Structure 1
Amino acid sequence: MNSSPPANPFVVRDDIDIVVNGGKGHVLDSAREKEDDDDDDDDYDYEGGGGTGGTGGGGVNRPRRIRRHRGIGGNVDHPFEMIPTTEEYDECHDYRDDDGMTCVEIGGGDDGDGDDYRDSGTILPEFVYHYLYPPNVPRSCQLYRIENIAIPSCYLLVGILQGLSGPFANVYPLDLGASEAQQSTISSLKSLPASFKLIFGFVSDNLPLCGYRRKSYMLLGWGMTSISMFALLAFSDLSSDAASSSSFAASAASSTRQLGGDMMRRYANDEGGGGITTTITMDDGVYRTLDVRGDIDQSSYDGVGPPSIPLLSICLLLFGTGFWFADVMGDSLVAERAKLEPTSSRGQLQSSCYACRFFGLMISAPVGTLIYGSSSIYLGPRGLVLLMATLPACIVPLVLMLGETRNANVPSTKDQCREIWNTVCSRAVWQPMGFVYLYNVLQVGNAAWKQFLKTVLGFTSNQLNSLLIVAYVLLWLGIMAYKKFFIHWSWRTVYVLTTSLNGLLSSLQVLLIKGMTFGLSPYLFALGDDAFADFIAGIQFLPTTIMMVHLCPSGSEGASYAMFTTVNNSAGNLAGAVSTLLLGVWDVSKGAMELGNLVGMINLTWLTTAMQMSGLLFVGLLPRTKEDLAKLHVDPMSGSKIGGFVFLFVTFSSVLYSLIVGVLNIVKPGWAGES
């Protein structure tokens, strides 16, 4: 054997096997000769953990033997069994496996490394300890280790902030009296940074900050998120009374503009009450006075009032930038570690992280609504923003403890771009991602459905909100169901089954339109229909994300995973645009519904159901399993430059579309017809 590790740590050698016990392993010569245990120079040390602490996997008593195969990105022998190197050399121990192969065990549970339950000194019961630190996975994939806990915490925080920011970003501008155009601008500014996820990932891949590619940028992202909300608190009054007065003033000003004619407007200060009154003289000589701020204690407005629309927009822009930056870092860390999972637990890492995310969303959405609607002086918009500012700061200590190699070798930008290009040209990428895009584009919903629930069935705002909350709960349950029951199913089987069930549920909407609810109230019938649809969506969510992680080339996980998720999300955006266009095919207006004309609603429901079911026509593009995905790399059609070009064209066109729409909403409010 050579006396030093090869220059390329993932060089393909047919004469070696790798044995990993928990977190570490060595390259072994397949010759039956037994190497001297004391000669560390004769063995290459590999680290399956990747985090600090380095050794062990929770007390594994037998090492795992990994055969190496050529992988997608060209850097690893198998896309799902990548083992990066480390410069550390540990004492190894011989082990002869069942077929007589001489193997080497590194840092096993019996070596006193603290990962074995007997040596850990923990007070936890053994079953709890093994649940938190599964003994059959590398240390870096054990999410609840102190050096990894920042990863699930990041996903949890992403879900919580999504749930909390919803009521604030969507409702608070209305309370300030923002016009529809201004509301569109605020919404675009908050979501605009999502279009730059690819750039965020590329920057972290190529430009380490303070020696770290992920940790420093995650701190930067959450710091920006927290500071933006603290700034909003510091430079404005977010009390409910302040927002109400601002909205009333805006309404009064709008009223004076819209009365028109020979009307005379006169503004005067009510010096006695310290308020502001608007006195309007109409053509008929009747005086009408609107008290804008007469009932508000003006002492609270000495230099600080409710936030202006520009200030609110800037703060939400910074909030969104930090939020998405940190989110991309979390995805990158998971993409790196997911490749180290053993065959028996592949997908568990991602499913656990996304379960944290949707759990946070499920809990925070109703909590955020309750906090925002509270009349308490300590809650309301002010309390909600304070919570949104404080939570990102709480994760900082966990991020500081995140295990990541400092000053690791980073491939040049040119090499990373070449690697990404080779990856997207692979049939293992453009074929399954083509299915993802086509399938999601065809998931066109009935855009008139909520109007039907409100106008025809008389659903209240609370009932509509409860549908959303239940949807979040069922979405999380769908994630957990896939993690528990379907994770080893064929991807095609999952999509065929869930799409068929979704088509059945969508067709049941026709029964609700016709009033056939089998004795159930319309609310319960709609609740069951919508809830199970989101449960199915939760089951469908994980197979594609697991697939996308294993398509990422080593060293470029940030940019490549962001690119794949961009394709996925852009297809959903296009489906939303198509659903809006279909509103003009039949008369599904509010007026038609009020007159009892529901023929258009029935036809539109059948059309959208058929479009959703048609996604099954392309299921043949989806590999059955991860193993089939790996085989596509060596397919004769792999390496197609046309496939790679089409993939990148769709990706960057989608990003450009999002940017154009976002910028137009900002620089030219109302371009889409808003008032």
Structure 2
Amino acid sequence: MLVHSSGLSKVKDSVTEKIFLGNEPNAELIAILTVYFVQGILGLARLAISFFLKDELMLTPVQVSALLGIVFLPWMVKPLFGFISDGFPIFGYRRRPYLVLSGILGAASWVSLATIVHTSWAATVAIALSSLSVALSDVIVDSLVVERARTESQAQAGSLQSLCWGASAIGALITAYFSGVLLEHFTTHTVFWITALFPLIVSVVAWLIAESPVSKDAQESNHLKFIKIKHQVGQLREVFTQRAIWLPTAFIFIWQATPSAESAFFYFSTNELHFQPEFLGRVQLVTSFASLAGVWIFQRFLKSIPFRVIFRWSIILSATLGMTTLLLVTHANRSLGIDDHWFSLSDSLILSVMGKIAFMPVMVLAARLCPSGVEATLFALIMSVFNLGGTVSRGFEALIMHWLGITATNFDLLWLLVVIANVSTLLPLLFLHWLPNAEEQTQTPILQPASANNREQPFSPDLMPELILREPESKAVE
């Protein structure tokens, strides 16, 4: 009996160490990982949305690009969700009820897409609500991770964030291929119905969160809340007046705001090249694995390289390799004896690896800019600026497509859009001097707000906040 118990104990210890990276697998951890997993698995409906907008609502590439820019708006105000959750408990709880609400909101948005959405405006509202649902749950679960990470030992540092990222990545990988396969056999509405089930899982596991109610005596008065928020806003204003903060943030915005050709290329792939959903799902699977490879390459070989160097070369290589899309757009690949499908797969694989390598320094830089005292809020604000850049990019894409006359069937000047998009990605090279130089990069942190009196902590890229990995996709990883 003792031998049996000893064996079970060893198995448990092994699972804790190898699968959960040393974190005790209790009910709350399972709930947190489930929320991240659901965020990844919601990609199941990504292709369904694209085909729904294109084939059922008959939207043009210009309209789709503009719509996708609008629905990312909730990701630009994530700090607001944190303020609301912290300052206005529901029935005395700051986390659990908001997770429940986010799950219900997400399920309702997908059900509406499956049933009552028949216009572009209704689709915009429904998809925006789905985006709001994920952004809200993201803020809440990130706060839980931060609270847990504070108790990690030095040996465990970064393990919880890595575990959460792994759960999200597994969900994304599982659905990457099946998002296309399902559309081969079912309608988009059926896929929306299936997707609606997953946010409800968030509402269920929210009850596993170990949270004590805030006592009435502990709840701050509205006046004190206002003073606290005013003080924090003052700290942020003080920080953002520093060139060491706002110049790199402006660089991130410019880097993200250059136009892409994503919406137009989807129409070209389906209407001109006649790629089927199953194949597009296969492309998503390949690009998902390629993105993981890009993360590994960065962490293994590149994370110690100065920001300016890695941004310079990633921008140049991404723009150069991006021009290979011209071969597919002009059908030159056929003259070379390369099938459209194989060319698209290999091109997507290479560009995804490069895109993720280019994207990873943004995470490092954003985390690196945040001084103690306002790190969580400032990080969220920097990433809101990043997402704003993505919306501006969509707007530029829509304007250029309208100017070039690109429609669902006219791709005569798609090559020019590809050239403009790739050449414009070189624009940030003019502003590389806005980034910290090699000496400034080694200073930890770059600066402290004058009102903060916190002991400096050494920075490591392995300790980057996990939330950025679940932001809406940047054009760098398309």
Task: Give yes or no for TM over 0.5.
Answer: yes
1:251-262 maps to which residues of 2 (within 5 A)?
Answer: none
Alpha-carbon deviations, 1:285-319, whole Å to 9, x = none?
Answer: xxxxxxxxxxxxxxxxxxxxx63648975765654
Q: Where do 5+ consecutive residues of structure 2 fail to align?
A: 451-478
How big is the shift at 1:536? 2.1
Match of 1:568 in 2: 386
Q: Which has the higher strand share?
A: 1
1:29-428 maps to which residues of 2 (within 5 A)?
Answer: 122-124=9-11, 128-132=15-19, 134=21, 142=23, 144-161=25-42, 163-172=43-52, 178=57, 180=59, 191=72, 193-226=74-107, 232=112, 307=116, 309=118, 318-334=129-145, 349-375=160-186, 380=187, 383-396=190-203, 398-403=205-210, 407=214, 412-428=228-244
Rounded Cα–Cα distance in structure 2 between residues aligned with 1:584 and 1:381: 27
Query: Structure 1 residue runs of 4+, over 6 Å off?
Result: 118-121, 183-189, 339-346, 408-411, 553-558, 584-592
Find the partner of 1:502 among 318, 327, 347.
318
How big is the shift at 1:568? 0.4
Find the partner of 1:515 among 332, 349, 353.
332
Match of 2:447 in 1: 633
Rounded Cα–Cα distance in structure 2 between residues aligned with 1:192 and 1:606: 28
Rounded Cα–Cα distance in structure 1 between residues aligned with 2:128 and 2:257: 28
| Partners of 1:193 and 1:317 within 8 A in 2 | yes
Q: Quote the sequence identity (%).
A: 22
Q: Which residue type is aligned with residue 156 of structure 1?
A: F
How big is the shift at 1:574? 1.6
How big is the shift at 1:344? 7.5
| Partners of 2:75 and 2:387 within 8 A in 1 | no
Q: Which residue type is aligned with residue 129 of structure 1?
A: T
Distance change (3 Å), C-alpha of 1:221 and 1:451: closer
Distance change (3 Å), C-alpha of 1:354 and 1:132: closer
| Partners of 1:471 and 1:534 within 8 A in 2 | yes
Rounded Cα–Cα distance in structure 1 between residues aligned with 2:7 and 2:87: 38
SS in 2 for 1:520: coil
SS in 1 for 2:134: helix
Match of 2:425 in 1: 612
**TM-score calculated relative to the size of structure 1:** 0.52
| Partners of 1:444 and 1:576 within 8 A in 2 | yes
Alpha-carbon deviations, 1:17-70, whole Å to 9, x = none?
Answer: xxxxxxxxxxxxxxxxxxxxxxxxxxxxxxxxxxxxxxxxxxxxxxxxxxxxxx
Alpha-carbon deviations, 1:86-123, whole Å to 9, x = none?
Answer: xxxxxxxxxxxxxxxxxxxxxxxxxxxxxxxx999734
How big is the shift at 1:409? 7.9
How big is the shift at 1:502? 1.4
Q: Where do 5+ consecutive residues of structure 1 fail to align?
A: 1-117, 136-141, 239-305, 595-599, 637-675
Rounded Cα–Cα distance in structure 1 between residues aligned with 2:53 and 2:255: 35
How big is the shift at 1:197? 2.8
SS in 2 for 1:633: coil
Distance change (3 Å), C-alpha of 1:167 and 1:526: closer
| Partners of 2:321 and 2:351 within 8 A in 1 | yes
SS in 2 for 1:213: coil
Find the partner of 2:290 among 474, 485, 494.
474
How big is the shift at 1:155? 2.0
SS in 2 for 1:615: helix
Rounded Cα–Cα distance in structure 2 between residues aligned with 1:536 and 1:466: 19
What value does the CA root-mean-square deviation take over the aligned residues?
4.5
Match of 2:471 in 1: none
Q: Which has the higher helix share?
A: 2
Rounded Cα–Cα distance in structure 2 between residues aligned with 1:190 and 1:610: 27
| Partners of 2:370 and 2:445 within 8 A in 1 | no
**Structure possessing the higher radius of gyration over alpha carbons:** 1
Match of 1:536 in 2: 354
**TM-score calculated relative to the size of structure 2:** 0.70
Distance change (3 Å), C-alpha of 1:635 and 1:126: closer
1:435-446 maps to which residues of 2 (within 5 A)?
Answer: 435-442=251-258, 444-445=260-261
Rounded Cα–Cα distance in structure 1 between residues aligned with 2:263 and 2:50: 19
SS in 1 for 2:426: helix
SS in 1 for 2:29: coil
| Partners of 1:158 and 1:357 within 8 A in 2 | yes
Rounded Cα–Cα distance in structure 1 between residues aligned with 2:31 and 2:21: 18
Distance change (3 Å), C-alpha of 1:382 and 1:437: closer
Rounded Cα–Cα distance in structure 2 between residues aligned with 1:518 and 1:468: 25
Match of 1:108 in 2: none
Alpha-carbon deviations, 1:405-450, whole Å to 9, x = none?
Answer: 6537876222232233233334443232122112222364477545
Rounded Cα–Cα distance in structure 2 between residues aligned with 1:555 and 1:208: 23
SS in 2 for 1:395: helix
Rounded Cα–Cα distance in structure 2 between residues aligned with 1:190 and 1:606: 27
Q: Which residue type is aligned with residue 608 of structure 1?
A: A
Rounded Cα–Cα distance in structure 1 between residues aligned with 2:45 and 2:89: 30
Alpha-carbon deviations, 1:183-224, whole Å to 9, x = none?
Answer: 879878865544543422221232233444333322321233
Alpha-carbon deviations, 1:555-575, whole Å to 9, x = none?
Answer: 866654432222101112222
Q: Which residue type is aligned with residue 164 of structure 1?
A: L
Distance change (3 Å), C-alpha of 1:216 and 1:424: farther
SS in 2 for 1:148: helix
Rounded Cα–Cα distance in structure 1 between residues aligned with 2:373 and 2:206: 21
Rounded Cα–Cα distance in structure 2 between residues aligned with 1:591 and 1:381: 22
Rounded Cα–Cα distance in structure 1 between residues aligned with 2:134 and 2:263: 29
Distance change (3 Å), C-alpha of 1:405 and 1:483: farther
| Partners of 1:159 and 1:360 within 8 A in 2 | yes
Distance change (3 Å), C-alpha of 1:493 and 1:514: same
